[in-house]
Amino acid sequence: MHLFEVSKNEPILKPEHMREYVKLVCKEAALKKDFPKEHEKIVYELQEPEDVHVKEFDRKVPKKGPLYEFIKHYTVGNKERLAKMSLQEYYILSSAEDLLHKCDPNSEWTYRYPEDIPASTDVPPTGASPFNDQFRNNIDCNRVLDSNQMAGTYPQPSRKFPQKEPDERTKTITEIQGSESGKKVLKKQSNIINEPISLEPELSSFASKQLTEGNAAFTDLSDKNRPTKIGERFGLIFDDEWSEAFEELTGGGMDDQSVISNLLQIIQHGYEYCMKKADEQLEDLQSVMKIPILQPFQIKHSLHVPKDMVQILTTATLKHAKDYRKVTASISSPEVCKVFLREESDFLKRRLQTLSSGEKLRVYIQVCIEQLWLMCVQDPQMSLEFADPNTPIQKDLYKFHEKKGTIVHLTVWPVVFLHKGGPLISKGYVLPK
């Protein structure tokens, strides 16, 4: 990329940016190697003038990672031209990744993408950007994508162990088995072993598990973070923390409708943020789960996955990654709250000037993010709905706030659904005109 060396006073390039760039370049190399015509076409079609507005990239880039946000930081200021050139390259690389997946849906399993720069590539010093033409052209992608390196088998035993001579204990057992009393004992054991065994409990458990996986209509009543419980806790926030934050902000001089709008913005923005982070975490979990399969016993090369196994592995990995994410969601939720407050501080300060001093508001944000995070890690994800202004009030979905009416003026609190297009979990509130 055309990005510059980062100064001490600006965001430092992180390992996650480096890994993402290397992976994107390797995927482009894979597309160029196996689907050259598609690669040539995409590079030709996506070459555009440098004066493209940044918002155009927000709309066009199919998949945005941490590196994208890192580059966007520099689109304002004296590095704008270089940053836009880097965004253009990111657009090409991301589109190449998307096209590779369309050409070969199993590309995540059939190719190995390194976690770090190959040894043959010079790694830039700390604080410097590797994104330049020389870096991209010199990266040893062919060595990474070499089919000879990817193919492999499980290691075999290095030698055969000699058969041991039977010891005295073994000889004694053999003699007992040959006696009349020994034969009677063996016959009795054989009858016990051959008795029919009922598999009904096991099969019932298996069938139940198969029925509930990914099916929101069936829930585990022992799960304290099941959707109905999350909906209940989310509704209590409006009764408690929302009311306290409302009083704190109105007491600071903000008018009622501005407070309602800002508190709702936190819900909307927080929900989108949690959706994004949940998807990123799921992708990370799947990537980590693939490593022991593709590189068992810490072997240096990746195993070749037969085509008939790719779909099985992909489905199983996704299922277990979702299960693990959901089970551990309550552990990760406090950290999600901290990251949200840190990463979205500019948004929060623009909307709410009293964020730094308003303790009730901070508590409101934390409890909202905690429940929104739990919603987003459900399978399928829970859904929120916000009423549009100047539309008829749907009384089956919304309750009135302060007064009754027929037309929506403001949404005060969103409706919660089990999933998009699914059954209602809890009603929202609207302020009528």
Dihedral Cα 42, 45, 46, 50, nearest 10 deg: 150
For 235: left if phi > 0, alpha if psi spans -120 to 50, otherwise beta; the answer is alpha
CATH number at residue 387: 2.30.22
Amino acid at 143: R
Query: Which of 119-128, 233-242, 246-255 ranks highest by mean pLDDT?
Result: 233-242
Which of the residue ranges 192-206, 282-296, 297-311 would you say has the lowest mean pLDDT?
A: 192-206
Residue 279 has pLDDT above 90, yes or no: yes
Q: Which of 76, 100, 124 is the last residue of a domain?
A: 100
Answer yes or no: is 124 within a domain. no
Residues forming beta bridges with residue 415, ordered by sequence position:
385
Answer yes or no: is 59 within a domain. yes
- Average predicted confidence (pLDDT) for the chain: 75
Instruction: Please report the pLDDT score of residue 425 as a whole number.
Output: 95
Q: Do 300 and 266 share a domain, yes or no?
A: yes
pLDDT of 168-215, one tens digit each? 555 455 555 566 665 665 566 556 545 554 445 544 544 545 555 555
Q: Do 364 and 412 share a domain, yes or no?
A: no
Q: Do 313 and 411 share a domain, yes or no?
A: no
Domain span at residue 388 reads: 382-432
Q: Do 371 and 394 share a domain, yes or no?
A: no
Answer yes or no: is 227 within a domain. no
Answer yes or no: is 126 within a domain. no
Which of the residue ranges 2-6, 48-52, 228-232, 343-347 would you say has the lowest mean pLDDT?
A: 2-6
Q: Which helix (H) or strand (E) holds 383?
A: strand 383-385
Q: How far is CA 346 from CA 159, 207, 215, 427, in A?
A: 64, 49, 38, 31
Q: Do 260 and 327 share a domain, yes or no?
A: yes
When divided into structural domains, the chain yields a total of 3
Q: Do 316 and 375 share a domain, yes or no?
A: yes
Answer yes or no: is 177 within a domain. no
Q: Which of 52, 81, 100 is the last residue of a domain?
A: 100
Q: Do 420 and 344 share a domain, yes or no?
A: no
Q: Do 333 and 274 share a domain, yes or no?
A: yes
Q: Which of 55, 74, 100 is the last residue of a domain?
A: 100
Residue 117 has pLDDT above 90, yes or no: no
Q: How far is CA 258 from CA 54, 111, 261, 352, in A?
A: 30, 52, 5, 10
Residue 58 has pLDDT above 60, yes or no: yes
Q: Do 371 and 413 share a domain, yes or no?
A: no
Largest Cα–Cα distance of the chain, in whole Å? 98
Q: How far apart are CA 158 and CA 65, in angstroms?
A: 44
Contact 330, 225 (CB under 8 A): yes
Q: Do 350 and 387 share a domain, yes or no?
A: no
